[in-house]
Structure 1
Amino acid sequence: MARDTANDNPIENRDQLVSSIEKGVKPRQQWKIGTEHEKVPFYRDGNRPVPYHGEKGIEAVLKGMETLLGWEPIYDGENIIGLGDPTGGGAISLEPGGQFELSGAPLPNIHRTCRETHAHLAQVREVAEPLGIGFLGIGMAPKQSRAATPIMPKQRYRIMAEYMPKVGGKGLDMMLRTTTIQVNLDFSSEADMVRKMRVGLALQPIATALFANSPFTEGRPNGFLSYRAEIWRDTDRNRTGLLPFAFEKGFGFERYVDWALDVPMYFIIRGGRYIDMTHTTFRQFLKEPKVDDIGEVTPSMGDWFNHLSTLFPDVRLKTFLEMRGADGGPTRRICALPAFWTGILYDDDALAAAESLTYDWSEAERESLRNHVPKTGLATPFRRETVLDIAKRAVAISRTGLKHRNQISAGGFNEAEYLAPLEETLALKRTPAEELLAQYRTRWGNSVEPLFSEYAY
């Protein structure tokens, strides 16, 4: 979850909002890769959820990380709820159910991203192990019930928790029990953004299948390979999905801003207090900037940036593009997700090949993929083939793109080597979730308990 901002600059007109996104335009030589990943905390004694407070709680982990890293603490009231690298690098934050997130620094290549991931996980282990806490790489907490999941003390989460049941059936599950791997990527122009947005949206269900890794709920198979993706289908239709308008003629920064303006808000921040704004859209807030208990306010750019962070389409536009379709997973897949999208979107030939692969997919076909992949994964039918066939071509395109980038590590490796976990999945013709289910039904004796030792970071 993004760090909330308190930018007080007043909003004067719609063009200012469009310009705020357009400022993300960067020349190719300045493009970076920012990787985010979340993980499920648990007590190794009993594989139980970890509360925020207490000598061995999430608060203690954050304070230990503060001491270890020297990063600046981020507070919500009296509670530490994150850490920021004072040099402008990454940040650590908490998802609503205590999922521990690293928002990685913008880095020039996957080698650096993967080193950052390994370093972070080692640092977390150093702090958490003496507290008896482990972290699990999976797309959804496999054992704990929603009721047993502690909610982190962040004001925005209280507002979200009250609002979610009004707009969908699974929003609280999304908040409390799911995890993801995401990558943030740059664009060189509005036209470049549009091309990448469309390819990203079309291929997002393919990424969901490749990274499907959430087959358990409350200790039992839930009937899905990516239950996390299924949860997103019933969270809040106003702010999620494949954005059909992105494929319409004339799509660009302005059209995205117009969509965002008409999505209900969550909150504004005044004097450190989060004020519930779920009753109004951002456009209505601009027209009538009144809040019941504090009177008239001045809509600010901070309000706008925070609002953008509460929109959850499968590809999210800020001053970069955020790929949001993958389940959380083990370390190798944390490196594979940014590699997959970087190879496709950061090389001209690869992007053109991906456009050729997806250009004639209809809105109904894209939506069908999104609706069926959570349950059937790589076996999902598409035209006269399956998602497995499309995924093979997409990964091959990514490999070619990464080779063209020719970013070589100190050990002489090309970035394409980080695609190995995906190529193994394609060779086996089954998702990570199906691997977990196979273990559950054989070695694990229909129990998820061994998962906590075998799949912990």
Structure 2
Amino acid sequence: MHTPRVSYAHLGAKVNSKHVDSLLTFFQEGVKPASKDRYGVEIEHLPVLHGSDLSVPYQGEAGVKALLMALRPYYQADLEYWERGQLLGLGRPGISISLEPGAQVEASIGPLDQADQLTGIYEDFRRELDPLADGLGFRLVTYGYQPRSSFTDIKVIPKSRYQSMTQYLGAQGQFGLCMMRCSASTQVSIDYRDEADAIAKLRLGSALGPILALFFRNSPYFEGQTNPYPLLRQRIWDFTDFQRTNIIPGLFDPRFSWEDYAIDVLATPLMALDLTHTPEAVGQSASQLQRSAFRENAADVYPDRRLNDYEVRHLLSTHFNDVRLKNLVELRHWDSLPIDRAQALTSLVGSLFYDPDRFRPLADWSQGLSEADVFAAKADIQAHGPRSHPYGRDMDQWRDLLAVPQIQEPGSSDPDHPGVAQH
């Protein structure tokens, strides 16, 4: 392994070279040929009670846990996820169901060979789920933030990782607990062909993500009031924990590599430790296998050896950059969307990132940007919304350039639109 260009010695952070190699191998294993350009789509849903539109808890006879239990016959028993006696996830080929900290229901769909396959799989999911949820007295809505409930009203589900995140993020930034308990997103994952292609997609996704987020924004509410922020999701994440969110450090440096990203992940405190798949930890108690790690990074807690895939995936999941690298490129800017808008977004992502005639000129443009340029564009959009001029173009010009479809934003005519609570 060559010597890293980025040194964290001045921060006192230890980075194990075998751990770095493990992440690089994981990234390399994600390489796909052009013929395998596929999609993964995650849509998070907010469970709200009929009538009041208040959030639905995980526990209780009519809670989200009861919904998962009722859904079990539709999914494979060997793909269920349980933790300490609690059902927290379901799965079958093509789709898995998991829970975010505030009992948001996430549907992860894919891999999809074509973007237009999304709607059919999603509609099957809702056709099975909606009658069961209705029978329990609630429904799932697709907004970027809970319509009525405050983060103080919502309990975190019984998952060890989320207990640690509550303690850590609750003390780090302005909106960590709001993010965990009340927010919901749409995320689109895409394949890459090699390291250069992955980095080009990370850069372009980071530069264009806020622009697309404005066109697809879907957060009418914040803490029971009208949302005051043009991009609520961006505002929340940018003020959650800067060392693991926002733009990947160094991404727009022309020398940036997978190794730089690996070192950044490995040098950062873990927040939540998971040793459940670490052979050397066999025999430790449950509280030792999954615990908080606010000051320890990977070199402090994992053995001096190459990491297995489970350990690598856990480490990568402790970072929440605007665009995240795993064994795919995960675009994370967008609010939870109803299926017609999620389908339009996924198709647009495909045209921008998989069509060489569209991708190459955009990638060349983004390669000429600096990190400061992207921060300035984000700030412009956050301050001025539809009247902003990111990178010197107004939003109408960006709509035309990117061929963003005209899709009506939700409003009072939306049958799921619950109105705004007056406090």
Which bracket does the TM-score occupy, shorter chain normalised?
Answer: 0.7 to 0.9
State how many pairs are aligned: 393
Instruction: Trace 1:317-328 onto structure 2 (pairs within 5 A).
Output: 317-328=325-336
Q: Note if contact 1:41-1:99 (Cα within 8 Å) is conserved in structure 2.
A: yes
Indicate the residue corresponding to 2:6 in structure 1: none
**Shift, 1:37, TM fit:** 0.4
**Shift, 1:24, TM fit:** 0.1
1:342 to 336, 339, 350: 350
The AA in structure 2 aligned to 1:50 is V
Indicate the residue corresponding to 1:23 in structure 2: 29
Indicate the residue corresponding to 1:49 in structure 2: 55
Task: String of CA shifts for 1:99-139, please: whole Å, max 9, x gaps.
Answer: 10001120100121121122212222022111111111111
Query: Is 1:452 equivalent to 2:423 in the alignment?
Result: no
Q: Note if contact 1:75-1:81 (Cα within 8 Å) is conserved in structure 2.
A: yes
Query: Is 1:232 equivalent to 2:237 in the alignment?
Result: yes
Q: Identify if the C-alpha distance between structure 1 residues 11 and 107 changes in structure 2 by more than 3 Å, giving closer, same or farther.
A: farther
**Shift, 1:26, TM fit:** 1.0
Query: Is 1:277 equivalent to 2:297 in the alignment?
Result: no
Q: Identify if the C-alpha distance between structure 1 residues 284 and 11 changes in structure 2 by more than 3 Å, giving closer, same or farther.
A: same
CA separation in 2, counterparts of 1:299 and 1:381? 45
Q: Note if contact 2:266-2:315 (Cα within 8 Å) is conserved in structure 1.
A: no
Indicate the residue corresponding to 2:70 in structure 1: 64
Indicate the residue corresponding to 2:149 in structure 1: 144
Q: Note if contact 1:143-1:218 (Cα within 8 Å) is conserved in structure 2.
A: yes
2:337 to 329, 332, 340: 329
Query: Is 1:39 equivalent to 2:45 in the alignment?
Result: yes
Structure 1 unaligned residues grouped into runs of 5+: 1-9, 290-295, 397-418, 426-431
SS for the counterpart of 1:167 is: coil
Task: String of CA shifts for 1:260-287, please: whole Å, max 9, x gaps.
Answer: 111210212346541212211224445x
Instruction: Trace 1:323-402 onto structure 2 (pairs within 5 A).
Output: 323-382=331-390, 384-394=392-402, 396=403
2:140 to 135, 139, 146: 135
**Shift, 1:90, TM fit:** 2.1
Query: Is 1:194 equivalent to 2:196 in the alignment?
Result: no
Indicate the residue corresponding to 1:157 in structure 2: 162
SS for the counterpart of 2:229 is: coil
**Shift, 1:302, TM fit:** 2.5
CA separation in 1, counterparts of 2:259 and 2:308? 19
Instruction: Trace 1:74-153 onto structure 2 (pairs within 5 A).
Output: 74-85=81-92, 87=93, 89-153=94-158
Q: Identify if the C-alpha distance between structure 1 residues 297 and 155 changes in structure 2 by more than 3 Å, giving closer, same or farther.
A: farther
Q: Note if contact 2:42-2:186 (Cα within 8 Å) is conserved in structure 1.
A: yes
The AA in structure 1 aligned to 2:130 is R
The AA in structure 1 aligned to 2:83 is D
**Shift, 1:47, TM fit:** 1.6
Q: Identify if the C-alpha distance between structure 1 residues 450 and 196 changes in structure 2 by more than 3 Å, giving closer, same or farther.
A: closer
Moved more, 175-184 or 325-334: 325-334
**Shift, 1:301, TM fit:** 4.4
Q: Identify if the C-alpha distance between structure 1 residues 450 and 14 changes in structure 2 by more than 3 Å, giving closer, same or farther.
A: closer
The alignment's TM-score, normalised by the length of structure 1, stands at 0.80
SS for the counterpart of 1:280 is: coil
Task: String of CA shifts for 1:296-332, please: whole Å, max 9, x gaps.
Answer: 9996543321010121011100000000001112221
**Shift, 1:376, TM fit:** 3.2
Q: Identify if the C-alpha distance between structure 1 residues 202 and 143 changes in structure 2 by more than 3 Å, giving closer, same or farther.
A: same
The AA in structure 2 aligned to 1:73 is E
**Shift, 1:375, TM fit:** 4.8
CA separation in 2, counterparts of 1:47 and 1:40? 10
Moved more, 155-164 or 108-117: 108-117
The AA in structure 2 aligned to 1:222 is N
Q: Note if contact 2:76-2:90 (Cα within 8 Å) is conserved in structure 1.
A: no
CA separation in 2, counterparts of 1:245 and 1:280? 23
CA separation in 1, counterparts of 2:230 and 2:186? 16
Q: Identify if the C-alpha distance between structure 1 residues 256 and 12 changes in structure 2 by more than 3 Å, giving closer, same or farther.
A: closer
Indicate the residue corresponding to 1:263 in structure 2: 268
Indicate the residue corresponding to 1:292 in structure 2: none
The AA in structure 2 aligned to 1:211 is F
**Shift, 1:224, TM fit:** 1.2
Q: Note if contact 2:76-2:91 (Cα within 8 Å) is conserved in structure 1.
A: no
Q: Identify if the C-alpha distance between structure 1 residues 352 and 167 changes in structure 2 by more than 3 Å, giving closer, same or farther.
A: same
**Shift, 1:384, TM fit:** 4.4
The AA in structure 2 aligned to 1:53 is Q
Moved more, 239-248 or 180-189: 239-248
**Shift, 1:141, TM fit:** 0.7
Indicate the residue corresponding to 1:412 in structure 2: none
SS for the counterpart of 1:260 is: helix
Indicate the residue corresponding to 1:423 in structure 2: 406
The alignment's TM-score, normalised by the length of structure 2, stands at 0.86
List, as ranges, runs of 4+ consecutive aligned residues in structure 1 with deviation greater than 4 Å. Answer: 10-13, 296-301
CA separation in 2, counterparts of 1:234 and 1:384? 25
Instruction: Trace 1:172-211 onto structure 2 (pairs within 5 A).
Output: 172-211=177-216
Moved more, 180-189 or 346-355: 346-355
The AA in structure 1 aligned to 2:229 is F
The AA in structure 2 aligned to 1:78 is G
The AA in structure 2 aligned to 1:210 is F
Q: Note if contact 2:86-2:158 (Cα within 8 Å) is conserved in structure 1.
A: yes
Percent sequence identity is: 28
Instruction: Trace 1:395-410 onto structure 2 (pairs within 5 A).
Output: 396=403
SS for the counterpart of 2:153 is: coil
Q: Identify if the C-alpha distance between structure 1 residues 357 and 123 changes in structure 2 by more than 3 Å, giving closer, same or farther.
A: farther
Q: Identify if the C-alpha distance between structure 1 residues 237 and 123 changes in structure 2 by more than 3 Å, giving closer, same or farther.
A: same
CA separation in 2, counterparts of 1:173 and 1:371? 21
**Shift, 1:338, TM fit:** 1.4
Q: Note if contact 1:40-1:135 (Cα within 8 Å) is conserved in structure 2.
A: yes
